[in-house]
Amino acid sequence: MPIFALQRSYKYMMYATKQPSLRINQADLKCKNGCGYYGNADWDGYCSKCYRNHMDQERQRKARQSHSDQTKVSGFSKFEEKKRQQTDKKNKYLKSLPVFRKTSSAKDSGRPERHLDLRQANPDADKLTAEFISLYGVWGEQVRRDFFKCVQSFTTKIYSELENKPIEDIAEMAQKYYNLYSNRVNNTETYQEVTTDVRDELLDFFEKYVMVSLYSWLFCPPSTNDEEKDLIIQERIRKLSWVNAHHLDCCISETSIEVRDLVYTAITHLLGMDSMKAPQDKLSCVVSCCQSVVKVLQHCQGGPVSADEFLPALIFIVLKANPARLKSNILYVTRFCNDSRLMQGEAGYYFTNLCCAVSFIENLTAESLNMPQQEFEAYMNGEITSVSAWESALVACEGMHQLCEHLSLLKDLSIRTNTVQDETKKLTDDILKFKEEMNEKVNSVLERTPLIIKPRKTPELSEKVDDTQNSQNFYLQNLQIATSNIDDAKTKLQLDITPCVSKTSPTDDHSLSKINYDIDFSDLSGESSLAELTPEKRKSPSFTPDPFSPVGSSCPITQAPLIPTKPDDFVLPFVETQETLLEKEDEGPNLPSPIKPMTAQYSGFSKQGWQIPSIPCITGELGANASQANSQTSQDKEN
């Protein structure tokens, strides 16, 4: 299709590379080959046909060359250059095998392999599909199916043509496809229910989907010299690093912090362009960069920003940012972004401005910076190195940033050390407190415990103590009980029965099943000095219901004595210590008789009786703890 062979980049790049002049000679515009058609600076001054011939020849020459010096690798260190080598190698490889390439693309058998390849190479496809379903799933299965059908046909078609056609033709195809799909969305029944807004979104999404899918083939394709252009512009910008805002007559104030921040933001957005895949995403990066530039200018001068001020500022930003693969990105967007978006709208305007800025940088002369040629040359050769305010400001900014980071880090660290110190202080306090507490406890325990240790050594004393009742301690009694338990078994039984019979006479039926409790009563009465009182107390409640209950039942009566006694049984042995100690003194003469019942009580509760002696054991443990604590504290002291 020779008519379409006119390259799209022509529209962008051709004129800008020419110096302004009122007259452009006709000869200047014609093809270098003299075929009579118009040439293009982008095609080295050839027309499209001659350029293609020329490039074919070049390729063949290169292919021949590549056989001879395939291993020639010069030591580049930069990423771009490395990448270029890789693509060059790939290029050479592909070109050195033209026969293989042709056959594989011509054969149908090659196709399924390619599909697979395409899907593997596109990790974003699943994400995009999911996004599509979440966004446009509501419009029904038909829309979805049609969308993916179109995507499939688009990618397949482009992919199959990728190696046979120059990138400009591919771009032309892509644009036609966009139009085709646009017509399809607007005119087919499938999309009838879709609202106009969503239709536009669908078109955008279509573009995004196919471009992300084909990104690795369409961005900076090996068949072009985009990579070289990238390197050239990068080197150029690097050389122009001395250019400052004053050279460009741009009113960016270099001292304001806000302005610096905004400049940083703009630079970040511009740098972010390279990481995007879809053309519209790249465009939106450009837009946000330009919006930041507008903000910068507004900050510096106030009022609405006109193009007279905007363009120099954008040039300045581009110079300071030196974005990676700038030219490749611009060309990619130019080729594959939907024309309608690129020609119209704010995004188109800003992108055009970026193209202008790049073009200006490429053709920058001493004149355009209003400086003498000699000075310009000196700058470019590095003979003069100016410390531009911006350079230093940016460096200072960097320093400030680091300073701030370090300060915050230090602050954080000091807070942490403070907390650590507080914690250690607390810990030492706790340790001291614990030590004191332990000492107190140990002392208190020691106050109580010395009595334990002594009787253990003299178990025979117990009988004497029993008899005399001079023993002061409950524990001692317990110990004694524990030891003398078995011996007294017989006496208990005898004692138990007698009070049982005497007391529980009204409730004979139940007494049998609750012998234990009955025994307890007797024990209580017998054991404690209150023995005489308690029966009376019990009798009074048990007797009072009696007048009411003869008709009813004996149950309340039997229960009545049981309920109050229960707690007594459990409490008394513990409370006992105080009571007995107090009252034993008072009721000295009664003592001999309670002694035996008391022993009987514990034997009656054989199990409980075994538990109670365990109390001394606990005190023993406490003593052990105390000794441990002591050892700990002594260790602490040592430490």
Partner 1 sequence: MANNTSGASHNFKVVLLGEGCVGKTSLVLRYVEDKFNTNHVTTVQASFLNKKLNIDGKRINLAIWDTAGQEKFHALGPIYYRSSNGAVLVYDITDEDSFQKVKSWVKELRKMLGADICLVIAGNKTDLEKNRNVSLEEAEAYAIKVGAIHFQTSAKLNKGVEEMFLVLTQKMLETVEEKEAQNAPLSRQNSQRRNVVVVDDDQVPPPPTRQCCSNS
The contact set with partner 1 (CB under 8 A) reads 2-3, 5-6, 11-12, 14-16, 18-20, 22, 24, 26, 29, 37-38, 47-49, 179, 182-183, 186, 249, 294-295, 298, 302-308, 310-312, 339-340, 343-346, 349-350, 352-353, 355-356, 359-360, 363, 367-370
CB of 260 to partner 1, least distance (A): 20
**Tokens 């290029």 appear where?**
91
When the beta carbons of 37 and 434 are compared against partner 1, the nearer one is 37
* Residue 161 beta carbon to partner 1: minimum distance, rounded to whole angstroms: 19
Query: How far apart are the C-alpha atoms of 135 and 256, rounded to whole Å?
Result: 43
Residues present in the chain in total: 639
**In the bound complex, what is the minimum distance in angstroms from residue 275's beta carbon to partner 1?**
25
Output 334 or 507, the one with its CB closest to partner 1: 334
The per-residue DSSP string of 267-283 comes to: HHHHHHGGG--SHHHHH
By beta-carbon proximity to partner 1, the closer residue of 161 and 367 is 367
Q: How far apart are the first and last CA of the chain?
A: 93
Angle at 484 between CA 480 and CA 489, to 5 degrees: 135
Element (H, E) at 339: helix 339-343
* 286 or 500: CB nearest partner 1: 286
Beta pairing partners, 46:
40
Integer Cα distance of 319 and 240 in angstroms: 7
- Say if residue 611 is exposed, middle or buried (CB neighbours under 10 Å; 0-12, 13-18, 19+): exposed
- Measured from the CB of residue 17, what is the shortest distance to partner 1 in angstroms? 8
Contact 590, 509 (CB under 8 A): no
Q: Nearest approach, Cβ of 166 to partner 1 (angstroms)?
A: 13
Output the CA–CA distances (angstroms, integers) from residue 136 to 58, 190, 209, 389, 465, in the order listed: 48, 13, 13, 51, 98
**CB-wise, 57 or 344, nearer to partner 1?**
344
Residue number with CB closer to partner 1 (3 or 618): 3
In the bound state with partner 1, the residue whose beta carbon lies nearer, of 9 and 471, is 9
Residue 572's closest CA among 598, 548, 592?
598
Q: At residue 540, what is the residue type?
A: S
| 3-state per-residue secondary structure call for 23-71 | CCCHHHHECCCCCCCECEHHHCCECHHHHHHHHHHHHHHHHHHHHHCCC
Residue closer to partner 1, measured from CB, 251 or 355: 355
CA dihedral (103, 105, 109, 112) in degrees, to 10, reads 160
Give phi and psi for 237, each to the nearest 5.
Answer: -65, -35
Q: How far is the CB of 49 from partner 1 (least distance, A)?
A: 5
Nearer to partner 1, 26 or 77 (CB): 26
What separation in angstroms does the CA of 545 have from each of 202, 511, 512?
94, 18, 22
Nearer to partner 1, 60 or 365 (CB): 365
